[in-house]
Amino acid sequence: MKHTDQRNIKIVTELMGYCYKHGSDNVHIDVNKENEKIIIFIRAQTSVITKKNLEHLEKALNTPRCHEMEEYYWNLTGDNDTYTELTLVGMMIDEAHINYVDEEYLELLLTRIP
């Protein structure tokens, strides 16, 4: 698959924008390549995210992966000011785990097999 690193960057950019939109001041990001997988971990400090926002995030990121959509539309993520491309991000990843720890830290663990 071409443009693997650029796609990872677009995913991270989209999720960082989401965190900032929901009041995060501190965002920690780890991107690791291990055993043919890319693991993206984001931990953002935010105390203003609602249960409804979390449900929307969970639904969007757990959209089934669609390689065809990813191939054609990956470059559209992260290019607007509304950060509404979460469903496309969901189509670009294989697995997403979301935790909201102590109603202060949003943790996203994404797995992607290029």
| DSSP collapsed to 3 states, 50-81 | CHHHHHHHHHHHCCCCCHHHHHHHHHHCCCCC
pLDDT at position 76, please?
58
Q: What is the pLDDT of residues 13-46, one digit of tens each?
A: 999 999 999 999 899 999 999 988 999 999 999 9
User: Which two tokens mark 113?
Assistant: 């097999």
Q: What is the pLDDT of residues 5-16, one digit of tens each?
A: 888 998 999 999
Which domains can be identified in the chain, with CATH numbers? 4-112 (3.30.565.10)
Q: What is the pLDDT of residues 53-66, one digit of tens each?
A: 999 999 999 988 88
Query: How many CB atoms lie under 10 A from the CB of residue 50?
Result: 9
> By C-alpha distance, which of 107, 85, 114 is closest to 11?
85
